[in-house]
Amino acid sequence: MDFHEYVASRRQPLLRLAYLLTGDTHLAEDVVQTALLQAFRQWRRVSRADQPDAYVRRMVVNAFIDRKRRHSSSEAPTAPADLPATPQRDHTDDHAERSVMWRSLAGLPRVQRAVLVLRFYEDLDDARIAELLGTSPSTVRSNASRALATLRKEWTRV
């Protein structure tokens, strides 16, 4: 499969993954574009990998994590533009819960958010997540535990 065929068939799943990581459509597009540019530059190596899709997904996750390192630490995460800043009771409970969850997820450190997205959206086990993030399974479990504890605190305040 050449690079253009790969992008045509896998762009949407990569965008969904990036959106879950970033919580923002435009930022997700930037992250995927960065990862695909890197993949294009290394396409011979990527296409020869046992699992090229896993290789590119790792590039997306790394682009998401590295993006924070390049920005000022004074930036604060916000809710996605298409969701209200505060849950509104005149909408359904599902919408309000989703809004709170997005804000809570956006407030997590990037690696913790990546671990939760890879575990619960991509349905990967700790060993696979560790491989994607270049860390150990115990670090993945630790990040997941901390992230879930933070989310539980947020939910008990609501």
pLDDT tens digits along 39-80: 999 999 988 888 888 889 999 999 998 876 555 444 555 555
Phi first, then psi, for residue 27 (nearest 5°) are -65, -35
- Check whether residue 12 and residue 51 sit in a common domain: yes
- Check whether residue 133 and residue 158 sit in a common domain: yes
Residues spanned by the domain of 37: 1-72
Is the pLDDT at 92 greater than 70? The verdict is no
**Residue 104's CATH number:** 1.10.10.10
Report residue 2's pLDDT band, with 50, 70 and 90 as the boundaries.
confident
Neighbours of 66 (CB within 10 A): 12
Q: Cα separation of 141 and 136, whole Å?
A: 9
Mean pLDDT within 95-113: 80
**pLDDT given at position 79:** 56
Answer whether residue 39 is part of any domain.
Answer: yes
- Check whether residue 46 and residue 112 sit in a common domain: no
- Check whether residue 13 and residue 43 sit in a common domain: yes
Mean pLDDT rounded to a whole number for the chain:
83
**pLDDT given at position 23:** 86
Domain end position, chosen among 37, 72, 107: 72
Q: Cα separation of 100 and 40, whole Å?
A: 37
- Check whether residue 62 and residue 95 sit in a common domain: no
Task: Give long-range contacts, CB 8 A cutoff, 24+ apart: 138-147.
Answer: 140/115, 143/111, 143/112, 143/115, 144/112, 144/115, 144/116, 144/119, 146/112, 147/108, 147/109, 147/112, 147/113, 147/115, 147/116
Report residue 86's pLDDT band, with 50, 70 and 90 as the boundaries.
low
- Check whether residue 126 and residue 152 sit in a common domain: yes
Q: Cα separation of 128 and 108, whole Å?
A: 21
**pLDDT given at position 41:** 93
